[in-house]
Structure 1
Amino acid sequence: MPTTRPSALQLETSWQPAANGSPPAYTLSLKNRSSRPLSRFRLCVSGPGRVDPSVEIDGGTVGERLSNFTAFLPPEGFELATGATWTVSVHALSWPLSHWTDGANSAYVEFDDGSTLSLPVSPTRLIGNNAPLKRGVEAYPVPDVPPAPVSIVPWPNHVSVSGRRPTPAGFALTATDPKAVAAAGAFTDLVDLLFAVEGMVRPSSEGGMPVALRVKNGLASEAYEMDFSEAGISISASTQTGLFYGLVTLGQIWRGVRLHPHAFKFPLEGQIRDEPAMGWRGLHLDVARQFYASGEIRKLLAILAWNKLNRFHWHLSDDEAWRVEIDAYPALTEIGAWRGHGLPVPPLLGSGPERSGGYYTKATVREIVAFAKDLGIEIVPEIDVPGHCFAMQQALPELRDPAEIGSYYSVQGFPDNCINPAREKTYEVLETIFRELIELFPFKTIHVGADEVPLGAWSGSPQALARLAQLGGPAMAEAHSKRLNVITNTHGADDINGSGTAVLQALFLERIQKFLASQGCVTGGWEEAAHGNVIDKSASYLCGWRNVEVSAALADEGYEMVVCPGQAYYLDMANSPDWDEPGASWAGWSAPEMTYNFDPVAGWSDAQKQKLRGVQACIWSEAMTDRAVFDRLVFPRLSAVAETAWTRPESKSWERFKAFAGLMPVLYDYP
């Protein structure tokens, strides 16, 4: 039992980069502001920054470390007196801190009786820097004289409008064809969610201007035509989605005029002809590192639709959590969906000692999938295998070889986080899970991850080594066994090409992809799924995350590619290298203008471009505990990627985009 129980503790953290021969220092200072001394305790913190396995520390020791969770112990017999401060300085991190969100974003004290006390956490300070920290969306003001008379993002293929008419109070949508009726209903639901009090859709009895929705055969599946005349407005398309996109364009024009009548005109006459440049226009969201409630997902999908994005890549599992209900294995959500002190998955990335997390029930998934479909969005679920499976293994320990010894570590610092390709149980479990997912996601495209498998994976598994000896020979198996307990994966994802790990992963992927194909599904993977060149290229695609050159090389090999390079399209990367900006920096940084101007197929040949499915932005959620940070990182860069995906390169204009970006909706709108 602790001899004292404080009523007030204060934690401050700071970062001092290496300078003048001194090593960098990540300093944690715990001040006892209570009326009693504190003893027999440990300080537990988590945040994106991770203490290196080869830790160098002053003032204490590391009692426990799992990825970004660290428990610091004071010296033996230490007592923190009233008014005193205990300081711990860490000189070895997995990577240097670069932004204020890199430090601890949750903390608590654990006493020797197992009880805990949560601590308020302030952002980590950079020594010598007092710049105000940035949160929330940076406002892009609409200029008095914008570069175009109507505000539309992404910009259409052809805009030829003129004249001015009084701005309608709203629109009364008229439709008879079932496709048109469905488009009108979906658009009404969309604006009710995004702009509930604006009355954009209203009956003629409330002043709504008639808008005729017409089905016109012969147009591309997402194309639309819009005509303005003194008699009214008509929108034509061959599909529900095309009509819906036409309404989105009309809604954007209307909101621009309503909010900035001095800058924009509601057209009296003219035409808009439009269709997307790319078929795959996506957003990836990691819901494992941070959980997003179903209401947040629905509003985010609405924002995607307002940007004419049509793919939602839903990252439902990772080391930190499992987020989707599976009837056959209830432990996946009973155990894998929750983090907290004393639980199989400890507090990570901003979660505190209390049990926290969540998952999506099957009923919720069905509702979200149906909602997205009405908005022209197909959902691709991702179950990340064979790596990134720490939470999954806590729920289903039978996935591990029972005779496995030793440990290997992922780049994020998780031990033994890969499910075993040599165990038949692995395929039994995954095929059961995928069957349940296929029933939930009718788009029948399943992403299986396949990224960042450590070089030492399965090096202590007798089953894996025996299988490797069959596949690559005894010498390869012997060489692989020597990677046991060797920490190779600390400062960057291991290159596993040519290794025993790559051979075993190829065995795994070939079987999983064949199973999914037998169920009528396309298999998605990150670019590492190309290891071994074993998956059927006619029934798969890859997401290229490193750079456009790697994606081009994979296209040369015949893989269909979705381009999402980290340095430009990872929206968790900071907007600048400055400390006061939130976000990550391992892939670099990208200001909105840089993201907008980035060419995802720079240097590609015509043959390579034939393998381009499209592009997508990716949101990884390590820093998203603070939802105002989410807003700052995602907007307006999400719209910048959307315009690249939709608008022909020769029609893009940063100045026009910047003038209109401030009119686009954001998810939270926190200051």
Structure 2
Amino acid sequence: MKKNLLYLLTSSLIGWACIFNAKAQIIPQPLQMVFGGGELIIEPGLNIVSSKELQTEAEGLADFLEKGFGKKNSIIFDGKGIILSIDKVLLESLGEEGYKLKVDDQGVSIAAGASVGIFYGIQSFKQLFPVDFGFKSGHQKVAIKMLEITDKPRFGWRAFMLDESRHFMGKEQVKKLLDQMAMLKMNVFHWHLTDDQGWRIEIKKYPNLTAIGSKRKDTQVERGSDKRFGEPHEGFYRQEEIKEIIAYAKDRHITIVPEIEMPGHAMAAIAAYPWLGSLGTTKEVPETFGKMPDSFNIADPKVIAFLQDVLDEVIDLFPGEAIHIGGDEVNYEPWLKSDSVKEFMLNEGLKSPVDLQIFFTNQISNYLEGKGKRMMGWNEIMGDDIHEEREESPQDIGQKLGSTSIVHFWKGDLSLIQKAVKEGYQVVNSNHWDTYLDYTYERLPLSKSYAFNPIPEGLEQKYHKNILGSGTQMWTEYTPNIQSMEKQVFPRLIAYAEVGWTEFENKNFERFKENLLIYQKRLDFLNIASADY
């Protein structure tokens, strides 16, 4: 029977449901899928029924269908077709990001408590189509399995970080990554924009940050090597380009968290304005990687004013709540050798450079809070000796990190996560052994990526709410081009999507690998490089 361009094929064979189950290859794995006994045939020109508040989501779906069928789909506000609807009742059970997707003899419907849930329902719906749909036009009809999906994420923070300080990739590559994050229901793009080897964000008040700080004369080829590529490296984003990327991410329900490193990893900025440094000797952007010799002179009020000026422009650009300030791997030696820094510490009653860093971090946290933002930093901001290189004992540290800070755990004993959440901090778990994409596949195989649990073993249930979620990081020191970077990211990013979304008891690595074979074919169509695993 033909009905509004939909055909229904049904079967009374009970075994068909199992066949459909095997073929419904959605990543990340939904919370619940119940399968019917037939297929719904979709033909070109099917209407999308949507309210005005879902216009962006409806247009995204219409674009996908047009690419596959080669024919435009009308978006209407009432009638029959693929129905997108907001149901506020679902907010209580599924939250803003959850959704219900139903394919039956009446057609297709996606319902959610908020627009982001509709968007994620559409991403699941798109994965029910043939792998070449959207890449090859001219499909005449598509069979979609009858099923009902009820879905919501395990964690609210599902992040991917790209380091563009070490190697600049450019906005088109960032957009490609945002597209993949959206399909995989990842919702935070952590954008590492400044570091020792390059300053990548235009700050209008301080033009030398990009005129000088975005360029280096050469680049170290590999860890511990004296070899260089023999060519300069440069690049930065103008503020208009950043606004374009933010808007692009917003349409995909992705929040961008910028990282502006302080008080360490600062040598590109210091090369641009040498008075920012503690040594007074930094003149060029480094071409090597690792822990650098200079740090911001945070005892100088002019340096604090500079950092606040920078943050003001960052705040004006980025609408999200969190601003990441790094705070990792700070070299204390230049502070200990500086008379002005030592005098400042004495006047403020700061016993150690650890106290000085926490004192400074709280200054920045308070400043951001006054602007309606929230500070985030790598877990050194708590003052813990995660590198096991200090003489001070924890009892010698007098300063305490402000309670509103988000702690981004990357290194140290897992007991430090327990300590942080018990003290009331919210934590994003990015334990480097489990989440660093610059690591080789021998060191961090796909199976280990998939097995990662952001909630540490043994953490009491009452503290689970303080684990916001997880992040995976692509540090680009030794990935000098897009292809080498993509091979480090894919397919492991796909595994981390399921880490953040899928309930732990619903994960299954063997099933994931089967689904991944299909997903990687989509990467092939997009010319996205993916490593063997």
User: With structure 1 as the length reference, what TM-score do the two structures score?
Assistant: 0.65
Do 1:450 and 1:528's aligned partners in 2 also have CA atoms closer than 8 Å?
A: yes
Cα gap change, 1:454 to 1:443, in 2 (>3 Å): same
The question of whether the paired residues in 2 share the 8 Å contact of 1:285 and 1:619 is answered with: yes
Which residue number corresponds to residue 527 of structure 1?
A: 379
Q: Answer whether contact 2:454 2:467 (CA < 8 A) is retained.
A: no
2:457 aligned with 1:592: no
The Cα of 1:168 is off from its aligned counterpart by: 3.1
In structure 1, C-alpha distance between the alignment counterparts of 2:339 and 2:61, rounded to whole Å: 57
1:315-354 → structure 2 map (5 Å cutoff): 315-340=192-217, 346-349=218-221, 352-354=229-231
Cα distance in structure 2, aligned partners of 1:347 and 1:270: 53
1:171–1:448 CA distance, 2 compared to 1 (3 A): farther
CA–CA distance in structure 2, aligned partners of residues 380 and 519 of structure 1? 15
What's the CA shift for 1:629?
2.7
- Structure 2 equivalent of residue 554 of structure 1: 420
**Which residue, out of 145, 162, 181, partners 2:36?**
162
Q: For 2:341, what is the secondary structure of its paired residue?
A: helix
Q: How does 1:490-569 map to 2 (within 5 A)?
A: 500-531=352-383, 534-537=400-403, 539-546=404-411, 548-569=414-435
- Alignment-mate amino acid for residue 432 of structure 2: G
1:214-613 to 2 correspondences below 5 Å:
214-219=85-90, 220-256=95-131, 266-340=143-217, 346-349=218-221, 352-401=229-278, 412-413=289-290, 415-472=292-349, 500-531=352-383, 534-537=400-403, 539-546=404-411, 548-576=414-442, 589-601=443-455, 602-613=457-468
SS in 2 for 1:543: strand
Deviation at 1:439, TM superposition (A): 0.7
627, 631, 638: which is aligned to 2:482? 627
Identity rate, percent: 29
How far apart, in 1, do the equivalents of 2:71 and 2:256 lie? 27
Matched to 2:154, the amino acid is A
Q: CA deviation at 1:354?
A: 4.0
CA shift digits 1:141-188 (9 cap, x unpaired) = xxx989733010001111002233265356745234122222112445
State whether residues 150 and 266 of structure 1, in contact with CA within 8 Å, keep that contact through their aligned partners in structure 2.
no
Preserved CA contact (<8 Å) 2:199 2:268:
yes
Residues 35-74 of structure 1 mapped to structure 2, 5 A cutoff = none
CA distance in 1, matches of 2:108, 2:177: 29
Equivalent position of 2:58 in the other structure: 184
In structure 1, the gaps of 5 or more residues are 1-143, 260-264, 341-345, 477-499, 577-588
Contact 1:382 / 1:449 at 8 angstroms: preserved in 2?
yes
Equivalence for 1:646: 501
* Corresponding residue to 1:637 among 476, 489, 492: 492
| TM-score, normalised relative to structure 2 | 0.81
Q: Please state how far the C-alpha of 1:338 moved relative to its aligned partner.
A: 1.2
Note closer, same or farther for the CA distance 1:668–1:329 as it changes in structure 2 (3 Å cut): farther
Q: Retained in 1: the 8 A contact 2:278–2:295?
A: no
Work out which of the two has the higher radius of gyration on C-alpha atoms and give 1 or 2: 1
Q: CA deviation at 1:609?
A: 1.2
Structure-2 residue corresponding to 1:36: none
After TM superposition, give the deviation of residue 641 of structure 1 in Å.
Answer: 1.1
Aligned 8 A contact 1:562 1:616 in 2 = yes
Q: Distance in 2 between matches of 1:173 and 1:430?
A: 52
The one-letter code of the counterpart of 2:451 is: N
The answer to whether the aligner puts 1:213 opposite 2:84 as a matched pair is yes
Change (3 A) 1:180 1:172: farther
**Deviation >6 Å, runs of 4+:** 144-147, 402-405
Cα distance in 1 for residues equivalent to 2:290 and 2:279? 22
Change (3 A) 1:382 1:544: same
How many residue pairs align between the two structures? 470
Quote how far apart the aligned CAs of 1:231 are: 2.3
Counterparts of 1:157 and 1:365, CA distance in 2: 35
Q: Closer, same or farther in 2 for the Cα pair 1:516/1:331, shift >3 Å?
A: same
Counting only pairs closer than 5 Å after superposition, residues 145-160 of structure 1 correspond to structure 2 as 148-160=22-34
Change (3 A) 1:367 1:505: same
- Equivalent residue letter for 2:276: L
Deviation at residue 553 of structure 1 after TM alignment: 2.3
Letter in 1 for 2:130: R
Q: Is the 8 A contact 1:438 1:444 kept in 2?
A: no
- Any conservation in 1 of the 2:40–2:103 contact (CA below 8 Å)? no
Does the 8 A contact of 2:62 with 2:72 survive in 1? no
1:20-57 deviation per Cα after TM superposition (whole angstroms, max 9, x unaligned): xxxxxxxxxxxxxxxxxxxxxxxxxxxxxxxxxxxxxx
Report if the CA contact (8 A) 2:424-2:466 is conserved.
yes
TM-fit CA distance, 1:469: 2.3
Ranges in structure 2 where 5+ consecutive residues have no aligned partner: 1-17, 135-141, 223-227, 384-396
Distance change in 2, residues 1:201/1:378 (3 Å): farther
Secondary structure at the aligned position of 1:662 is classed as helix
Which secondary structure state, in structure 1, belongs to the residue aligned with residue 323 of structure 2? strand
Deviation, structure 1 residue 216: 1.1
What residue is the counterpart of 1:8 in the other structure? none
